[in-house]
């Protein structure tokens, strides 16, 4: 495997675990305000990010590459309004999309077709992640300023359940 591609994949492990930390921080923000549905939504999101990190980890191992685990940074976002974590989540997902795209471009340049095929799933996943984050912002704008609407949205988010990814390495 091209060393640049390997390094970027290694770095992505850390970025995915950071994403999990960030989403747990957002879940904590909502839990402290009694919005258990919002907290649940972000806890499920954190679990997905951990799985993404493990997919990169296993991919590197399955390709006889050395995995280097670095320290995971503490989330530093400060949230004041109920909408702040939602906007930060969309911003973060766009950032992750840019990281995946950069790895894909490096793999293409190195003619590493196995890695580009592996990343195809993540490209699709990031489209879904951005749409989900955007949809949540839209719902909050429509219903979140009114108590009954916020209650219903919180109830909807409480119903989200975790589903493991079905990516074959």
Whole-prediction pTM value? 0.93
The pLDDT of residue 164: 80
The pLDDT of residue 7: 98
The pLDDT of residue 165: 76
CB of 137 closer than 8 Å to CB of 93: no
Q: Measured in whole angstroms, how far is the alpha carbon of residue 141 from the centre of its chain? A: 22
Sites in the chain below the pLDDT cut of 70: 167-169
The pLDDT of residue 78: 94
Rounded Cα–Cα distance for residues 14 and 152 (Å): 35
Q: Which of 114, 112, 120 is nearest to 3 (CA)?
A: 112
- Per DSSP, the three-state class of 117 is helix
Neighbours of 101 (CB within 10 A): 14
């Amino acid at each position: 495997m091209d060393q640049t591609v390997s390094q970027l994949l290694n770095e992505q492990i850390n970025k995915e675990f950071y994403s999990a930390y960030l989403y747990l921080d957002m879940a904590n923000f909502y839990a402290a305000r009694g919005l258990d549905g919002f907290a649940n939504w972000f806890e499920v999101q954190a679990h997905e990010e951990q799985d993404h990190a493990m997919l990169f980890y296993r991919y590197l191992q399955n390709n006889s590459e050395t995995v280097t685990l670095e320290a995971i940074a503490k989330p530093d976002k400060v949230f004041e309004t109920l909408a702040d974590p939602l906007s930060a989540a969309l911003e973060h997902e766009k950032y992750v999309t840019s990281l995946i795209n950069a790895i894909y471009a490096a793999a293409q340049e190195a003619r590493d077709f196995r890695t580009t095929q592996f990343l195809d799933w993540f490209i699709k996943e990031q489209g879904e992640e951005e749409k989900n984050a955007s949809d949540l912002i839209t719902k909050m704008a429509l219903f979140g300023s009114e108590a009954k609407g916020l209650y219903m949205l919180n109830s909807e988010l409480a119903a989200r359940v975790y589903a493991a990814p079905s990516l074959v390495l």
